[in-house]
Structure 1
């Protein structure tokens, strides 16, 4: 029957709790539920996801978890469906003791982003405890002389339940001599005593057996009984009386053992008052472990460790008993004074461990809970972090703090922070605790690669083999990881119409630049390329640098003889008269070298010079001059070999052979340089072709002369007709004279005859042709005709000279030496 009632009560309470859960309101991140105690493990407290308006998948993605500052955890979270469930049975009496308002508070934390919800679960009492007396039997010795109205305190029953479920009333049976008087104490407890309403007579009845029953107010109601055995005494007319009805004192926590808390005293009107003994009445095991009372003196002393965080106040009763077993009771109330003996406790509720360097100010890094078990100022906590830090501590709720970014972060300057969090209470002296958070700054690709130099100059010798290393470029990136992985590229361009990549390549990882082709200094002296360094970030950042490549000359070209020109068909000789003075310029060897620098510095020297050498060559200018007077012993035919050598290492050279004739007349030269065997080498066909060419040119010359004479005769006739008809021409107005091209107002004619030797040439000056600056229009035609005739004469003369020179050349070629 009792178990059925209990199940009905549990069901009713569970229904009530579920109804209250549906009405639970979310207020600034808080939610409250109400459940009965003693719910079985796995029972549902409420659905936090629906009550907070969260999607169930948000609990999973946010790694929702329950956080409580206490060591025990009664309620857990089922992330799959958002239910709060009972993890362990909750005994309200064990959890809260005599405190009627009992609750369990915890926090639900979600990440990404960080969110915190405070949940409070009120624990409702159920009538699961019956009243209990400290003893199973009460012994009372009462004198037969006790007058009606005498009071006899009884030990109260204890019911750990609260509210209506706790102790409500007492009954006493039988009630022939005694009745009950129940008084409500200030703390809500009930003091019970027996009042004698009819005298006792020991001679009639020495013993009385009474039943005291205590009832609580629960449904169903619970009760307990105790038997009272009363022995009627024959003497002792007065009971002890305490000096005060209650003793109120205080003791500091952690008081030394043996410290006197208070002293109680009672007096007895009887002569045997010195025989009063003091005892704890109905003291709990906790009271007996912490305090003791001297039975003779009434001193209450500390015998255990008093902790304010466990017990704020003690209440218990003491009894004074005389030798006749007459007693009196008084209450002792001891307030525990808090001592600042607990340091603040820092609990890291959530910590990301790493934050991106581009995180905006105000980004939450960690959520903290700081608690101090002390009270008053001793529990007031201030939380701080190191100064000169890009972070700050802000308070979100009571005893809750957020560690957030306070300014911009730069991983390249500081990649890791050791953040020291300090919590200090308000005690005197204050106590503090510290916790260190190691925070890493994750990299963002915010730095572009930087080359070690603003530009690079590289040198490579020409004729290099392919894939020759030219230079190595290097770029640094202040980022890390993939953001600092640099690749090198050559920016597209062209050189001499071909892509740069056909000449140059670069190792994308090391930055080593290679020459893909063999370079020729004579074609390319230098060129410029752009190298790009790009990191591996997303998006990637890059930077460019200019690479100037200079081709270094090598002595790979021999000197080239420009003059005299070497021919194998005929022998050309320079003529030196025998009367030539010392230093006479015979000829000049002209040579060039397409190399540069010292590789193009040329020097000239003669080979196979005799002891009495007639000629020398200038070391630098290549001029061949006589070094002494010509003598009769000198041969007419001189053959000079000139070596032209550059200054390269190793040097290169070229050789030219020059024939020099030392003579004063042509027959001498001809006889010396004529080689009888040379005529035999000529081909008969060549002689035929030369004779044929000479005949053709002679014919052309005769035809030209006839044409010129015909033209002259024709123009002479036209001029004669023009003068005859000049009187009949109309009058032509005046016009300015027409000037010839150039700045001279006169026309000059020159006649020149040149030879192969420039020293034999001369120029004949002829009288200039003049015209007036101002002439009449009638003279204008005459002047123009005279000018035209002069130009025709010049043209005719030039034509005749050209043909003459051609004939002379052919004659020389056709005539053997």
Structure 2
């Protein structure tokens, strides 16, 4: 029955995401979808081609691809159908933890012409986790002298889901002697405690067994139970009381091990108040690896490497317990302060390795993304390139830049550029990174050939044999490749009523001029400006 209801919920959620995909809206190059977590691999998120108003073939011709600055890629692109599809199953709790608003963002890039679209996918929580208590049983020793309204904190249940799917309420059965009191702490977590409303009599009943149940608000609703075993004592009728219901502190990331973050303190009206011991209550393995508490003094110290980029805040509970098993609980909230310990990361998303020398100013050469994992001023990045170059870098979206031409290019002057891109953050001291882009300038035919001399004089003996070499001319062209290839030929003309070509000829490739016949000394030949470059 439970698996049937679960299948119905997943079916309803898949139908919901299909409907939501139909209403995706493009806003200045951005589009947003909403899907439930745990969708199977291959599921369709939406049709980005139709939602962006693109021709389906544009995704193929533009070599559309997904770019993400993160190491994990959850969503891929089917260019043939224009569908965004699930590449790996998304667990909202693993991705965002206790944060309600959970989303992933990536970019869809197209080439020729270059286009970039920002895609945000909101991950909606499903009720895939039940509340869980840290133990299957809770043992309590309570004095028969416990006063009316005495409070007995209980270890709370944890539900990693969020919103209505998270932990909502508790119930206690039976309620002959105790009733529940549930309060929300500064972080929104629920703290549960039993309150004595009917006196205990050890001579009548030494033991009491209660059932505590935790419920979430999902549909179908999930729950968890824990058995509370109470042993009635005849001593110690006062419980410790913390000086604060919530302790707030801060610590810089990379704080030295042994640093004291805060000190908790509780008092006990009994004479044995010096026997109070302090413990962490139902904390995660992460908390245990980073912090410790001195059982006698209540000092909370750093014992591990704290990284702001992994954890920006810690919230956990601490317990004060006396020798008679009376206890009180308080909450500790520790804010992690960022230091500038991450250098900016430059990612070239799309780049041209060559550009024509006649490219117009403003032509895009490369698109790049710059990220810094720090926060505040430490994450603000200034991106620049070498000065005195015919290029400039301009911002397109937040953390996105285009490298474009800024002035005319001349391959004959500079045929290749090594463009150094520098990203500097706003930290103190600032951190920076560099990337070098090699760009070749392709040639256009913008230079005419030039003879090495303005005029040529040649002398030859009379009665020379035909095909005698008279002179060799040479021209040069500053262009490159096919644009620099030259041919030589004679300008049309005549001499003594006969065509010039009947007296001389020229090799079109080498520029060597030959006689076509024997010359008579009585004929003086002076040839100038008879050659033209093709």
TM-score range, shorter chain: over 0.9
**Distance in 1 separating the partners of 2:79 and 2:503:** 65
- C-alpha offsets along residues 498-517 of structure 1, whole Å, 9 cap, x if unaligned? 33333322222222222222
On the 8 A contact 2:504/2:513 being kept in 1, the answer is: yes
Tell me the CA shift for residue 254 of structure 1. Answer: 0.4
Runs of 4 or more consecutive aligned structure 1 residues displaced over 6 Å after TM superposition: none
Tell me the CA shift for residue 209 of structure 1. Answer: 1.2
Tell me the CA shift for residue 160 of structure 1. Answer: 0.6
**Distance in 2 separating the partners of 1:355 and 1:319:** 68
Tell me the CA shift for residue 28 of structure 1. Answer: 0.6
**Distance in 2 separating the partners of 1:519 and 1:48:** 81
Q: Secondary structure at the match of 2:100?
A: coil
Tell me the CA shift for residue 433 of structure 1. Answer: 0.8
Tell me the CA shift for residue 455 of structure 1. Answer: 1.9
**Distance in 1 separating the partners of 2:92 and 2:188:** 18
- C-alpha offsets along residues 522-544 of structure 1, whole Å, 9 cap, x if unaligned? xxxxxxxxxxxxxxxxxxxxxxx
- C-alpha offsets along residues 565-621 of structure 1, whole Å, 9 cap, x if unaligned? xxxxxxxxxxxxxxxxxxxxxxxxxxxxxxxxxxxxxxxxxxxxxxxxxxxxxxxxx
Tell me the CA shift for residue 188 of structure 1. Answer: 2.3
**Distance in 2 separating the partners of 1:421 and 1:325:** 64
Tell me the CA shift for residue 496 of structure 1. Answer: 3.4
Q: Secondary structure at the match of 1:456?
A: coil
Q: Secondary structure at the match of 1:369?
A: strand
Q: Corresponding residue for 1:129? A: 129
Tell me the CA shift for residue 474 of structure 1. Answer: 1.3
Q: Corresponding residue for 2:516? A: 516
- C-alpha offsets along residues 441-487 of structure 1, whole Å, 9 cap, x if unaligned? 11111111111112222222222222222222111111111111122
Tell me the CA shift for residue 158 of structure 1. Answer: 0.7
Q: Secondary structure at the match of 1:4?
A: helix
Q: Corresponding residue for 1:8? A: 8
Q: Corresponding residue for 2:69? A: 69
Q: Corresponding residue for 1:630? A: none
Tell me the CA shift for residue 4 of structure 1. Answer: 1.5
**Distance in 2 separating the partners of 1:490 and 1:81:** 62
**Distance in 1 separating the partners of 2:492 and 2:81:** 61
Q: Secondary structure at the match of 2:459?
A: strand
Q: Secondary structure at the match of 2:460?
A: strand
On the 8 A contact 2:62/2:111 being kept in 1, the answer is: yes
**Distance in 2 separating the partners of 1:230 and 1:302:** 36
Tell me the CA shift for residue 393 of structure 1. Answer: 0.8
On the 8 A contact 2:424/2:430 being kept in 1, the answer is: yes
On the 8 A contact 2:347/2:369 being kept in 1, the answer is: yes
Structure 1, unpaired ranges of 5+: 521-817
**Distance in 2 separating the partners of 1:193 and 1:344:** 48
Larger displacement relative to structure 2 (195-204 or 495-504): 495-504
Q: Secondary structure at the match of 1:397?
A: coil
Q: Secondary structure at the match of 1:459?
A: coil
Q: Secondary structure at the match of 2:26?
A: coil
Q: Does 1:92 align with 2:112?
A: no
**Distance in 2 separating the partners of 1:335 and 1:313:** 5
Q: Secondary structure at the match of 2:41?
A: coil
**Distance in 1 separating the partners of 2:44 and 2:485:** 54
**Distance in 2 separating the partners of 1:138 and 1:462:** 127
**Distance in 2 separating the partners of 1:468 and 1:2:** 106
Tell me the CA shift for residue 305 of structure 1. Answer: 0.5
* Structure with more of its chain in strand, by fraction: 2
Tell me the CA shift for residue 488 of structure 1. Answer: 1.7
**Distance in 1 separating the partners of 2:120 and 2:503:** 78
Q: Does 1:53 align with 2:61?
A: no
What is the aligned residue count? 520
On the 8 A contact 2:185/2:331 being kept in 1, the answer is: no
- C-alpha offsets along residues 54-96 of structure 1, whole Å, 9 cap, x if unaligned? 1122111111111000001011111112111111101010001
Greater relative contact order (CA < 8 Å, ≥ 6 in sequence)? 2
Kindly tell me: are residues 498 and 81 of structure 1, through their superposed partners in 2, closer, same or farther at Cα, counting changes over 3 Å? Answer: farther
Tell me the CA shift for residue 52 of structure 1. Answer: 1.0
- C-alpha offsets along residues 402-445 of structure 1, whole Å, 9 cap, x if unaligned? 00000001111011111111111111111111111111111111
Q: Secondary structure at the match of 2:59?
A: helix
**Distance in 2 separating the partners of 1:195 and 1:506:** 115
**Distance in 2 separating the partners of 1:502 and 1:93:** 93
Q: Corresponding residue for 2:523? A: none
Tell me the CA shift for residue 202 of structure 1. Answer: 1.1
Structure 2, unpaired ranges of 5+: 521-534
**Distance in 1 separating the partners of 2:488 and 2:119:** 58
On the 8 A contact 2:186/2:246 being kept in 1, the answer is: no
Tell me the CA shift for residue 186 of structure 1. Answer: 3.1
Q: Corresponding residue for 2:464? A: 464
Larger displacement relative to structure 2 (454-463 or 113-122): 454-463
- C-alpha offsets along residues 205-260 of structure 1, whole Å, 9 cap, x if unaligned? 21111111111111111111111111111100111111111111100000011111
On the 8 A contact 2:127/2:219 being kept in 1, the answer is: yes
**Distance in 1 separating the partners of 2:167 and 2:421:** 50
**Distance in 2 separating the partners of 1:398 and 1:472:** 63
Q: Corresponding residue for 1:383? A: 383
- C-alpha offsets along residues 639-698 of structure 1, whole Å, 9 cap, x if unaligned? xxxxxxxxxxxxxxxxxxxxxxxxxxxxxxxxxxxxxxxxxxxxxxxxxxxxxxxxxxxx
Q: Secondary structure at the match of 1:131?
A: coil
**Distance in 1 separating the partners of 2:467 and 2:222:** 103
RMSD of aligned Cα (Å): 1.1
Larger displacement relative to structure 2 (3-12 or 332-341): 3-12
Q: Corresponding residue for 1:426? A: 426
Larger displacement relative to structure 2 (452-461 or 114-123): 452-461
**Distance in 1 separating the partners of 2:489 and 2:127:** 84
**Distance in 1 separating the partners of 2:424 and 2:60:** 36
Tell me the CA shift for residue 176 of structure 1. Answer: 1.3
- C-alpha offsets along residues 324-344 of structure 1, whole Å, 9 cap, x if unaligned? 111011111111010011111
**Distance in 2 separating the partners of 1:282 and 1:174:** 25
**Distance in 2 separating the partners of 1:297 and 1:269:** 18
**Distance in 2 separating the partners of 1:3 and 1:448:** 81
Q: Corresponding residue for 1:24? A: 24
- C-alpha offsets along residues 282-307 of structure 1, whole Å, 9 cap, x if unaligned? 11111000000011111111011000
Tell me the CA shift for residue 495 of structure 1. Answer: 3.0
**Distance in 2 separating the partners of 1:503 and 1:301:** 104
**Distance in 2 separating the partners of 1:103 and 1:189:** 22
**Distance in 2 separating the partners of 1:204 and 1:491:** 132
Q: Secondary structure at the match of 2:11?
A: helix
Q: Secondary structure at the match of 1:17?
A: helix
**Distance in 2 separating the partners of 1:128 and 1:499:** 98
Larger displacement relative to structure 2 (496-505 or 465-474): 496-505
Q: Secondary structure at the match of 2:14?
A: helix
Q: Secondary structure at the match of 1:461?
A: coil
Tell me the CA shift for residue 19 of structure 1. Answer: 1.5
Q: Does 1:495 align with 2:495?
A: yes
**Distance in 2 separating the partners of 1:495 and 1:219:** 107
Tell me the CA shift for residue 190 of structure 1. Answer: 1.1
Tell me the CA shift for residue 18 of structure 1. Answer: 1.6
- C-alpha offsets along residues 691-720 of structure 1, whole Å, 9 cap, x if unaligned? xxxxxxxxxxxxxxxxxxxxxxxxxxxxxx
Tell me the CA shift for residue 105 of structure 1. Answer: 0.4
Q: Corresponding residue for 1:768? A: none
Tell me the CA shift for residue 191 of structure 1. Answer: 1.1
**Distance in 2 separating the partners of 1:90 and 1:84:** 14
On the 8 A contact 2:316/2:333 being kept in 1, the answer is: yes
**Distance in 1 separating the partners of 2:179 and 2:309:** 42
**Distance in 2 separating the partners of 1:495 and 1:108:** 72
